[in-house]
Chains A and B, each alone.
Chain A
């Protein structure tokens, strides 16, 4: 006898009808909808102090958010830094990322950028320079700049949207790539639209924002 209570057995109990499907599972348009992952850019304005970056990156790893890139740098105000995150998550995941970021004490403002935001990345690509003229031609094609040259190598700086850099690297690969260093995406909203400024909580948790696939800018 290991104990137990009295009362109707599970099969004798009424089952709710309403929003359950034939398997007895909740039909919740929000919960049931397919959750495709999408790639988006989140900009966070933070207090420029030691440990903020580790707070942010730690948040991402312990909550298992899928982070593509993270860049950080100072802003027009000495005490503030801007962190730009590229994430690939479902809509609820992206909402959670924004809310969890806002909870961090040194975070001033968080905003998901519109698809038309300017997004740029910088890459340094070091290639074999056996055919320097052709290297220069390819660099030219992608608006790249040769920043270092030696008898064996040439290092080209390319900036632009991630897709453009991917394409440039693809084109450079014919010469034999020795090393690549990329910064990850940094971004700002267009025109007079504030990227993430204190007080401007553009996408509040209560507003329904419609998302579109980001345009490949540039």
Chain B
């Protein structure tokens, strides 16, 4: 386990009731039992022991033939296993658990279809660099390669989508394999790791306790950036008259939120975030320009387009952020801070590459920058853009309910520490744009992979990682929610306090929006007017169902859903024609964002 990750799993400001203390109290008895724990006798027990040593509290999964020995060993463990309705749900729940807690989330599945069902969630975690462990059952080693029942080459399938994967071949070593997977998932640039567990290896006898979890010797992480480059970058910042900080998901994963906040505020540098970077800077702060990119705010995109110095932290310059590379930040010299050297100059050439841990490098930079940039005019310009391109929508009574209004109402009804999870589509963009995020690890979404169906299982993982007083709100779309709606049964069984708001327009809305703009309005396969009534479906699952059709129902219904102690689903019937703006067409110029359909 990396030092950073184990020090502070939650970066949200601790409240008076000190959740960390509670957690330590809970851990106390398990420390005692650990002292008197029975020695391991099988590979499977060694696997579970490695999980316990890593401090795992929850594991998400589905039982099955090849993974049965591990589940049998879990039976005697304090680790709480959450049986999911589908393995995809397990992988998303583990992913979200990792995002919210900062510790790798764990998911389990059996061989073959169990393992392949995890694949979407693993790929999702890989794209977003989320720490995650996947443990998969495998047919006995003697049958591997023979197309045995429920056999899949799981390490082969997952090689391109994992940070590392291990085929466990030895009962004596399997505990260490799991420990290594843990260490790798949480160290350096986080990511998903997988251990494939053949049944004979987990059934096999061993007295070998897993050793200390550590990364292989070949794995090295550079923590501190090159001093010379830091100095050059510092000079550039001092001389800059139009600086911008661009904060990516790496700021949150590297627990660098406090460092970047104080750096930006001390030097009065306006801040733009990427979508995974949401929460790294308080959006209600004067310097906040909020999210940039395809559906970013107009002012964020104007600021990026006109800046002369771009300080990118923990971002990989995804094409949804940059638009066309050749028109991205055309005047800017780029300072790029990233722990992964391969991200430097991959998409955007960095004049000042700073490889290292985000918090460490920002501190190095802070020590070196002696004068704040002279940027009074620039900040005024940024404020001007904020008023020129303010995020607004029309809400006359005679118009159908606007989704933006619903998102704002949810935000208003909940605390600053409330966690939002989303699926993928228009609802996700409205949740980015109209919710004001102020804390890290409160925004949980599928960014890089763009996985529809992510939001609800993610809410389950987030719920378990969150403090009891943190609300968990899943903002879903009708199409997205339908993809993993079976996980509602899990939330009901576990009595999880999750509020789902389905922004229901009876369309795959984002596709509809693109079809209107770029495919002459031919709505090929994007009309979902066969959607169920989600409130009634929720009741059938044993959850509470609500429905909103108009403005005057919004506040009261949201209140009732939030007050219900258990999963509740609000079927929100929004304006079916509502679209997401601003919008930069794919590969377009960020400064030329469209504010209406006519400008596309």
Give the distance to chain A from B510, nearest Cβ to Cβ, in Å: 13
Docked-complex contact A51 and B155, CB < 8 angstroms: yes
Cα distance A132–B599 in the bound complex, in angstroms:
77
Mark out the residues of chain B between 345 and 371 whose CB falls within 8 Å of any chain A CB in the assembled complex. Answer: 345-346, 349, 353, 355
Docked-complex contact A3 and B298, CB < 8 angstroms: no
Give the distance to chain B from A106, nearest Cβ to Cβ, in Å: 6
User: A9: which of B155, B308, B599 is its contact (CB, 8 Å)?
Assistant: B599
Given the known A-B contacts A51-B155, A62-B160, A105-B216, are A8 and B592 also in contact in the complex, defined by CB atoms under 8 Å?
no
Instruction: Tell me the dominant secondary structure on chain A's binding face.
Output: loop
B167 at the interface (CB under 8 A from A): yes
Docked-complex contact A16 and B349, CB < 8 angstroms: no
Cα distance A99–B338 in the bound complex, in angstroms:
13
B330 at the interface (CB under 8 A from A): yes
Cα distance A181–B268 in the bound complex, in angstroms:
65
Docked-complex contact B302 and A24, CB < 8 angstroms: no
Mark out the residues of chain B between 564 and 600 whose CB falls within 8 Å of any chain A CB in the assembled complex. Answer: 575, 577-582, 589, 591-599
Docked-complex contact B327 and A24, CB < 8 angstroms: yes
Give the distance to chain A from B83, nearest Cβ to Cβ, in Å: 31
Docked-complex contact A100 and B156, CB < 8 angstroms: no
Chain A residue numbers with a CB within 8 Å of B226 are 206
Chain B residue numbers with a CB within 8 Å of A99 are 341-342, 344
B331 at the interface (CB under 8 A from A): yes
User: What residue in chain A is nearest B305 (Cβ atoms)?
Assistant: A16
Chain A residue numbers with a CB within 8 Å of B329 are 26
| A-binding segment of B384-392, B478-486, B541-549 | B384-392
User: What residue in chain A is nearest B302 (Cβ atoms)?
Assistant: A13
User: B355: which of A20, A55, A58, A205 is its contact (CB, 8 Å)?
Assistant: A205
A161 at the interface (CB under 8 A from B): no
Docked-complex contact A108 and B341, CB < 8 angstroms: no
B141 at the interface (CB under 8 A from A): no
Give the distance to chain B from A195, nearest Cβ to Cβ, in Å: 17
Mark out the residues of chain A between 53 and 96 whose CB falls within 8 Å of any chain B CB in the assembled complex. Answer: 54-55, 58, 62, 92, 95-96
Docked-complex contact A26 and B597, CB < 8 angstroms: no
Docked-complex contact B388 and A8, CB < 8 angstroms: yes
User: B596: which of A4, A19, A103, A105 is its contact (CB, 8 Å)?
Assistant: A4
Chain B residue numbers with a CB within 8 Å of A15 are 591
Cα distance A137–B326 in the bound complex, in angstroms:
58
Docked-complex contact B328 and A26, CB < 8 angstroms: yes
B530 at the interface (CB under 8 A from A): no
Given the known A-B contacts A51-B155, A105-B184, are A206 and B229 also in contact in the complex, defined by CB atoms under 8 Å?
yes
User: B330: which of A10, A26, A30, A96 is its contact (CB, 8 Å)?
Assistant: A26
A6 at the interface (CB under 8 A from B): yes
Given the known A-B contacts A9-B599, A26-B328, A28-B349, are A51 and B167 also in contact in the complex, defined by CB atoms under 8 Å?
yes
Docked-complex contact B341 and A102, CB < 8 angstroms: yes
Docked-complex contact B298 and A20, CB < 8 angstroms: no
Cα distance A10–B582 in the bound complex, in angstroms:
11
B85 at the interface (CB under 8 A from A): no
Docked-complex contact A31 and B389, CB < 8 angstroms: no
User: What residue in chain A is nearest B297 (Cβ atoms)?
Assistant: A5
A36 at the interface (CB under 8 A from B): no
User: What residue in chain B is nearest A10 (Cβ atoms)?
Assistant: B592
Cα distance A213–B599 in the bound complex, in angstroms:
49
Cα distance A44–B331 in the bound complex, in angstroms:
38
Docked-complex contact A13 and B155, CB < 8 angstroms: no
Chain B residue numbers with a CB within 8 Å of A14 are 306
A107 at the interface (CB under 8 A from B): yes
Give the distance to chain B from A65, nearest Cβ to Cβ, in Å: 13
Docked-complex contact B341 and A20, CB < 8 angstroms: no
A209 at the interface (CB under 8 A from B): no
User: What residue in chain A is nearest B577 (Cβ atoms)?
Assistant: A2
Docked-complex contact A106 and B218, CB < 8 angstroms: yes
Docked-complex contact B331 and A96, CB < 8 angstroms: no
User: What residue in chain A is nearest B226 (Cβ atoms)?
Assistant: A206
Docked-complex contact A95 and B345, CB < 8 angstroms: yes
Cα distance A100–B316 in the bound complex, in angstroms:
14
CB-based closest 6 A-B pairs: A4-B596, A99-B342, A18-B331, A26-B330, A30-B349, A7-B389
Q: Interface residues, chain A, CB within 8 Å of chain B?
A: 1-10, 13-20, 24-28, 30-31, 47, 51, 54-55, 58, 62, 92, 95-96, 99-100, 102-103, 105-108, 198, 205-206
Q: Interface residues, chain B, CB within 8 Å of chain A?
A: 155-156, 159-160, 163-164, 167, 184, 216, 218-219, 226, 229, 298, 302, 305-306, 308, 325-331, 340-342, 344-346, 349, 353, 355, 388-393, 399, 402, 513, 516, 575, 577-582, 589, 591-599
28 A-B interface contacts by CB (under 8 A): A2-B513, A2-B579, A3-B402, A3-B578, A4-B595, A4-B596, A4-B598, A5-B389, A5-B390, A5-B582, A7-B298, A8-B389, A10-B592, A10-B594, A13-B592, A16-B330, A20-B330, A24-B327, A24-B589, A27-B330, A30-B345, A31-B349, A51-B155, A92-B345, A102-B341, A105-B216, A205-B344, A205-B355
